[in-house]
Structure 1
Amino acid sequence: MLSSIGRAAVRRVVAPGPQSTNSAFRSVWHLQHVGSFHHPKGSSALDKSYFSLGRAYATATKAAPKSKKTTTKSAKPKNPVVKKAAKKPVKKTATKKKKKAVKKLKSKSVGRPRKILTEEDKKKAVVKALKAQALAIPKKLPFTAWMVFNAEDARANPVSVANGGPRSADAANRYKSMSPAELEHYNHIANQNKVANEVAFKQWVESHTPEQIRSANNARKQLRKKDPLHTWTPIPDDRMPKQPTTPYFFFVKEKHASGDMKGIKFTDIGRLVAKEWAALPPSDRKIYENQGAADKQRYVQEFKTVFHRDPDFVTNAKAK
């Protein structure tokens, strides 16, 4: 049997509560020595109690391990599925049509009232338009001896000379008293200018189309009546088809070629030929009419070749 001291030691060892390992072993060691000192025969019992206490202590210490601090980590889901936010229905904003900028009407500046054209003003406007259509013929070089001398003297003496008269009057006197050698010199220059004028004029005509020259000649024909103060000569053009000859003109040509009108005045010839034409039998007149029809057909073909269209009288006849 254990002594009271041993039992107290055992109770301390077995008693619940946290004890350190060193204090437990000291208590057991003290129990062994005390028990063996008072009860030498009870050493085996103490040894057994020692080992049982050791096992109990071991199980007790193992049964209650120190609680480790565990930090709970929130487990993150693998590959989290991110839900796409539902698209909000976009409100269609009605495109506002831009208002067209209204142009401000400019206030008309009050100017001079329009001039009411008189009949004379209208005629002048017509003449001006015809002049533009008539084409301006290039200026020619002086083509006579006097013209050459006068132009030369004008360049040398632009201002009026002595003797109180104009320059041209003095030049005319000097031209009259000119020696034959001097006159030959100016004639030679004039002849050269003639040739140069012909070449230049031909080049100028050919720089225009046949239609332009035809239109210019028509305008010049009208200007001879509307503007008689100026000479509006027709522009010669070798490209133009020759006008058709009438049956009456073929008859007149034949009369002149026969020699029957020799020595008769020109005015009398016209009256005499007109009477003979009026008294001509239809069978004889038919000869001249056929000649006129053939020449008219010739003109139509040449006109088409040059202008690439029918003459006006053919177009008008087809329209009827």
Structure 2
Amino acid sequence: MLSSAGLVTARRARVIGVRSVFSSLARISTRTAASPQIPTSIRIAAVFTRGFAAAATRSATKTATAATTKKTTATKKPAAKKTTAAGKKKATATKKKPAAKKAAPKKKAAPKKVKGRSKKVVKEVPEDLKLFRKAKLLRAKGLVKEQPTGLPASVWILFLAKNRAAFGDVSNVADISPALKKQFEGLSPVEKQALEDEARANKVRNDAALISWVTTYPVTTIEAANRARAELKRMGKPTRRALHDPRRPKGHRSAFTFYVSERYKSGDFDGVTSTAKISAMAAEWKAMSEAERQPFNQAAEADRERYRVERASLSPSP
């Protein structure tokens, strides 16, 4: 039994076969009389057989092509599913990549650790440690350790330096000073005078050595050292005396200072205490007019100009 497609093709083959028969008859009629004559019955049969054969081949090719197309579509559908599945896998894989990228900024937790460290580093420094560090800086600025040690410049210190070695056999160190004191009191006037002369000579040598050492520094450095030593003294810390710098100009005086020096020379306040003198001179200065103060103001201005010139002449280095 033929299918519906086969029946349709058979009908078409019949129609096509009839048409081919008529076309072949027309061609035969047009041929010349010289060509050999074939019986019509044989020709008609041949034509019909050719038409049916062509129709059968065409129907067979059409069915074959239809079957192949169905097979290709049937085989291609699972492939499409595979591609879609692979595409989905790729899409999921590509979607997972941004998630990994988003996880990277989470590593920026370092600043939090730094904040915690900064809080731990902050420590309260004890007040005693602050004072110790401040005193250490002031001693370095005051050139306390750099200052050279001089020779004994007093009679008692010179006597101790000379006779302390004689009491090396004393077991208790506290007994050395009382023993030396008794020996010092028993010295003759000639021996004491010799010690005084030597101590005076040592003081001269010490002053010369100190001045030569001071002049190796700039004037501003020595001034800063004196300020540091004064600060140590206010703090109650051990320090040395202020350094004398002969290069530094003498400070300028005020108008009231010139008035006080003149009143001291007058002798009006002889026998009066220093506090009473200063209070009385201050009262007099306040009661004076500008005309009366003019000479002292001029003297103060001249002294200020002198100090400015001497200060400008100093070089920053010795």
TM range (shorter): 0.5 to 0.7
1:202 aligns with 2:184: no
- How far is 1:187 from its partner? 2.8
Corresponding residue of 2:157? 147
Deviation for aligned residue 1:230: 2.9
Which residue type is aligned with residue 193 of structure 1? N
1:96-115 to 2 correspondence within 5 Å? none
- Bigger Cα Rg: 1
Opposite residue 234 of structure 2, the aligned amino acid is K
Rounded to whole Å, the distance in 2 between the matches of 1:221 and 1:168 is 32
List gaps (5 residues or longer) in structure 1.
1-109, 310-320
Alignment check: 8 A CA contact 2:154 2:200 kept:
yes
Task: Tell me which residue corresponds to 1:23.
Answer: none
How much has 1:189 moved relative to structure 2?
2.6
Give matches, 1:151-190, under 5 Å.
151-158=161-168, 160=170, 166-190=175-199
Please tell me whether the aligned partners of residues 221 and 232 of structure 1 are also in contact (alpha carbons under 8 angstroms).
Answer: no
Quick one: structure 1 residues 212 and 233, their matched pair in 2 at CA, closer, same or farther if it must change by over 3 Å?
same
Q: CA deviation at 1:241?
A: 0.8
Q: State the partner residue of 2:229.
A: 220
2:251 pairs with 243, 249, 261, which one? 243
C-alpha contact 1:161 1:167 (8 A) present in aligned 2 = no
Q: 1:305 to 1:167 in 2, by over 3 A?
A: same
Question: Does residue 276 of the first structure (1) align with residue 276 of the second (2)?
Answer: no
Distance 1:277 1:215 in 2: 35
- What SS is found at the alignment partner of 2:314? helix
In terms of mean alpha carbon deviation, does 112-121 or 234-243 score higher?
112-121
Choose between structure 1 and 2: higher helix proportion.
2
Instruction: Tell me how large the CA RMSD over aligned residues is.
Output: 2.7
Shift of 1:138: 2.1
Alpha-carbon distance between aligned partners in 2 of 1:221 and 1:184, rounded to the nearest angstrom: 35
Equivalent residue, structure 1, for 2:275: 267
Task: Map Cα deviations across residues 286-316 of structure 1 (whole Å, 9 max, x no partner).
Answer: 222222122111111111111469xxxxxxx
1:263 is displaced (CA, Å) by: 1.8
TM-score (norm 2): 0.56
SS of match in other structure, 1:306: coil
Shift of 1:113: 6.7
| Alpha-carbon distance, 1:161 to partner | 5.2
Q: How many residues align?
A: 197
Q: Measured at CA, do residues 232 and 192 of structure 1 come closer, stay the same or move farther in structure 2, by a change above 3 Å?
A: closer
Question: Partner residue of 2:242?
Answer: 234
The residue type equivalent to 2:218 in the other structure is T
Provide the rounded CA distance (Å) in 1 between the counterparts of 2:273 and 2:153: 34
Find the aligned partners of 1:115 and 1:175 in 2 and give their Cα distance. Answer: 56
Q: Does the 8 Å contact 2:269/2:277 carry over to 1?
A: yes
What corresponds to 2:308 in structure 1?
300
Aligned amino acid, residue 257 of structure 1: K
Higher relative contact order (CA 8 A, sep 6+): 2
User: How do 1:1-40 residues align onto structure 2 when only pairs under 5 Å count?
Assistant: none
State the Cα distance separating 1:124 from its structure 2 match. 2.6
Instruction: Give the residue type in structure 1 aligned to 2:149.
Output: K
- Rounded to whole Å, the distance in 2 between the matches of 1:117 and 1:165 is 39
- Unaligned 5+ residue runs, structure 2? 1-116
Aligned to 1:104: none
TM-score w.r.t. the length of structure 1 is: 0.56
Note closer, same or farther for the CA distance 1:245–1:197 as it changes in structure 2 (3 Å cut).
Answer: same
CA contact under 8 A between 1:211 and 1:307: conserved in structure 2? no
Amino acid at match of 2:125: L
Distance in 1, Cα, partners of 2:316 & 2:210: 25
What secondary structure does 1:264 align onto? coil
Q: Distance in 1 between matches of 2:169 and 2:220?
A: 45
User: Aligned with 2:269: secondary structure?
Assistant: coil
**How far apart, in 1, do the equivalents of 2:294 and 2:190 lie?**
61
Paired residues of 1:159 and 1:167 also in contact (CA < 8 A)? no
> Against the structure 1 CA distance between its residues 249 and 141, is the aligned structure 2 distance closer, same or farther, given a 3 Å change threshold?
same
Letter in 2 for 1:135: L
Q: What does the per-residue CA deviation read over 1:256-310, in whole Å, with 9 as the maximum and x for residues that have no partner?
A: 112211221111101100100111111112222222122111111111111469x
Distance 2:171 2:188 in 1: 22
